[in-house]
Every structure is written in structure tokens, then in C-alpha cells.
Amino acid sequence: MARILIIDDAVFMRKMLCDILAEHGHVIVGVGASAKEAIEKFGILKPDLMTLDIEMPQESGINSLGALQSILKDNPMAKIIMISSISKESVINQMIEAGACDFIVKPFEQDMVVKTVNRILGGD
């Protein structure tokens, strides 16, 4: 069981990820819809893992890459999985090089999410 923060601007996607992860024994400690919320909520909630959508409206000039870098600067051991419908290898590589633990491409299968999360948390 892990404490997970879910950041995605799509309500449907947040709900789907919450349902999948809660069904597999994880606790959803928070959700957010912007990169700014990702930074703020990660700092407050200190989750074991965070999922972070790449394509969200920029708020205060902060995008998902900026949020990823900011969180990792303050929390170098943070476990962050990027999620996006963008499947371009260059984007995936950019996020991994910036410190993301993994990358899940939308649309995804429930099993893929669970296996990725468990592997990152060290349970698989």
C-alpha cells in the first residue's frame, strides 16, 4: 500500500487512476489539475508516488517538466510517473532524463498502470 498523488487536468482521467490504484490497495492522498498544484500538493502531502500528466494548461508559466524538475530539486528521491497521450520517443526521453521514474502512454490498460506503479514502488 502506497500513498499516491494524482495530477491530471482531465476529471475522468483522475477518477480512473484513483479507482484503479485504490482497487489495488493504494491510498489516494490527493488529486490536482495543474503543474502548480503538483508542486504545492507534493510539498504538503509527501506522497510515496505521484502520477503527473504532461499535457496540462500552463499555470503561472509552470509546465509539467518544470513541475517535475522543481519537485525533484526539493525531493531527489521522489517517485514520479509521467502519463500522457504523447508517445513521441523524444518527449519520453526528455521526461526520463529529467528524473521521471517511468512513462505511461494513454490510453492505457489497468494492468499496465498497476504493474508500473508496483515496480516503481519496489513491489514487483
Q: According to the model, what pLDDT value does residue 123 have? A: 60
The grid coordinates of residue 67 equal 513541475
Sheet with strand 49-53: strands edge to edge: 27-32, 3-7, 49-53, 80-84, 102-105
Beta carbons of 62 and 42 less than 8 angstroms apart: no
Q: What is the pTM of this model?
A: 0.94
- Cα–Cα distance list, 61 to 11, 35, 57, 115, 116 (Å): 22, 9, 9, 33, 30
Beta carbons of 33 and 81 less than 8 angstroms apart: no
Render pLDDT for 22-77 as a digit per residue (tens, 0 to 9): 999 999 999 999 999 999 999 999 999 999 999 887 766 679 999 999 999 999 99
Indicate whether 124 pLDDT > 60.
no
Q: According to the model, what pLDDT value does residue 74 have? A: 95
Q: Which domains does the chain have, with CATH numbers?
A: 6-108 (3.40.50.2300)
